[in-house]
Chains A and B, each alone.
Chain A
Amino acid sequence: MSTTDHMIAAFDVQKIRADFPILSREVHPAVPLIYLDSTATSQKPLQVIAAMDEFYRYSNANIHRGIHVLAEESTAAYESARERIAAFIGAATPREVIFTRNTTESINLVTQSWGRANLNLGDMVVLTEMEHHSNLVPWQMLAQERSLRLEFIPVTGDGLLDLDEYARLLRLEPKMVAFTHMSNVLGTINPAAEIIRMAHEVGALTLVDGAQSVPHLPVDVQALDADFVAFSAHKMLGPSGIGILYGRKALLEAMPPFLGGGDMIKRVELRSFQSNALPYKFEAGTPAIAEAIGFGAAVDYLANLGMEAVERHERQIITYALERLEEIPGVKVFGPAAEQRGGVASFTLPEAHAHDISQILDADGIAVRAGHHCAMPLHTKFGIPATARASFYVYNTLEEVDRLVDGIYKVKKLFS
């Protein structure tokens, strides 16, 4: 047995499933859950639930500045989570890892702090046509305020970025290129390292929306040479309400604070304040402490599985899912071939609207998402109001894909 075979064998989905209590519930009488909506949010393993439970039962106190045992334990647990998350994404130091509420807040931090300090009338920001609203609207808000020019890397019919057009846009010398590493609709995995290298050649900074990539692929921020990377815990086995902004230290140090308040200051007088050092400068107020600790446990869980193995598992499922979906008459799956995508399949049926598909699948316990998935411009581009989206994670199986396909045949029968 080769090393690779051995690693595949070691990825024991049934053993993983046993760690997720929710996967053993019934959603209707005698109908078990088939959860195919991890792109919206992932389920949580016992290890994450237990870490948060343990914190509240045993160590709960506010962090920093407390000189008692609970405060010290809480602070240590919170900072330890930061260190493990920093290691997970290959950050040079934990000080480059800022806790936020989620990917959206991380991106708003960049637009409101870095953007307002550095972008002015006529400056150009390059985005892509496949952005989630979270990496679109914050830039639109800043563009309105500062009269910026927004340009977009087009998406091809295959769901890939048009890099020739990107090269042309770069000749206009943008200040920032902000793009999703993996599309939450098409599943496209964009060539982040190349996009960043090309941006740096013209002196532009880069922001990577890692909401879908960090949970599903090995992501090393230094290898990518990224300037900013934003992602959320809840899509990677952790709790909701906490996310990360990774930023290059020199950039973060030069940026003005984002939210003002406690913990982000070194010194306060009645009419002035001095900002705290990184990362606290960007963490005003009591943070989501238990959530940070849960996030640390989630990262431990994924690191233990190995992100290469996670990616391989999902590639196997999406390859099979695309094969099976495409054999259903009328089904149209959007996005690129399996080799260039993560575990996401958004599709339409000519007979039935995405809502109806989702509702009928739900009767069989199958949870998929229906709608525009917070990417309205992309749906407009493809000329469709909504898609149904099945997405896969570490706990999904090939049998679940078969159940999905059976369910789609039921939809077709009902609407035929």
Chain B
Amino acid sequence: MDDLYRELIIDRYKNPQFRGELDPHDFTFEDDNPYCGDHIRVDVRVDDNDVVIEAAYSGEGCSISQASADLLIEFIHGKTLDEVKALTKDDLLELLGIELGPVRLKCALLSLKVLKAGAYGLGKDEVSDDLVE
């Protein structure tokens, strides 16, 4: 448990750095985790070279879902859209620095799923867990 709630996660949950909404944005996407009601929206701005210049997230949920979104959004600043599309589950877990069981893994991966769905320009019905396998 101590590991799961390492200081970084509690800190990012209580003092998020990238919480908010961007208007205008180049893409936005939102989705829920149906098992627990976690909700994440991401808004992203890119420059002419498709490099992320600004990004933010909003929503509600547990510390794992919200802290992982905060860390992920920080991480993608300066990355290209192709790099964002190529992000994997392992990349996100490395950012979090913890091991998660199957239920909490869904909390952690929601932000990545939402981000990638937005980056690919998917429709609401096209989102699948394949994005974060």
Chain A residues within CB distance 8 Å of chain B = 352-356, 359-360, 362-363, 370-372, 376, 379, 385-386, 414-415
- Whether B104 lies near A355 (C-beta < 8 A) is yes
Chain A interface mostly: helix
Instruction: Provide the residues of chain A in CB contact with B39, threshold 8 Å.
Output: 385
Q: How distant is the Cα of A354 from the Cα of B62 in the complex, in angstroms? A: 7
- Whether A360 lies near B62 (C-beta < 8 A) is no
**Is B60 in contact with chain A by the CB < 8 A criterion?**
yes
Given contact pairs A414-B5, A414-B10, A356 touches B37 in the complex (Cβ within 8 A): no
| Nearest chain A residue, comparing its CB with the CB of B2 | A363
| Nearest chain A residue, comparing its CB with the CB of B103 | A355
**Is B63 in contact with chain A by the CB < 8 A criterion?**
yes
**Is B124 in contact with chain A by the CB < 8 A criterion?**
no
Given contact pairs A352-B63, A353-B62, A414-B10, A385 touches B38 in the complex (Cβ within 8 A): yes
Chain B residues within CB distance 8 Å of chain A = 1, 4-5, 10, 13-14, 35-39, 60-65, 104, 107
Among B5, B10, B36, B63, the residue within 8 A (CB) of A371 is: B36
Q: How distant is the Cα of A303 from the Cα of B107 in the complex, in angstroms? A: 42
Instruction: Provide the residues of chain B in CB contact with A386, threshold 8 Å.
Output: 36-37
Among B10, B14, B107, the residue within 8 A (CB) of A355 is: B107
| Nearest chain A residue, comparing its CB with the CB of B32 | A385
Q: How distant is the Cα of A370 from the Cα of B35 in the complex, in angstroms? A: 9
- Whether B104 lies near A359 (C-beta < 8 A) is yes
The contact sample of 7 A-B pairs, CB cut-off 8 A, is: A353-B61, A353-B63, A354-B36, A355-B61, A356-B64, A386-B36, A415-B10
Q: How distant is the Cα of A386 from the Cα of B4 in the complex, in angstroms? A: 20
Shortest Cβ-Cβ A-B pairs, 10 listed: A355-B62, A363-B1, A385-B37, A353-B62, A371-B36, A386-B37, A356-B63, A356-B62, A372-B37, A385-B60
Q: How distant is the Cα of A371 from the Cα of B13 in the complex, in angstroms? A: 19
Q: Which of B4, B60, B62 has the most chain A CB atoms closer than 10 A to its own CB? A: B62
Among A352, A362, A363, A372, the residue within 8 A (CB) of B36 is: A372
Instruction: Provide the residues of chain B in CB contact with A415, threshold 8 Å.
Output: 10, 13-14, 63
Given contacts A353-B63, A355-B62, A355-B65, 8 further A-B contacts (CB under 8 A): A353-B61, A353-B62, A355-B36, A355-B104, A359-B5, A360-B5, A385-B61, A415-B10
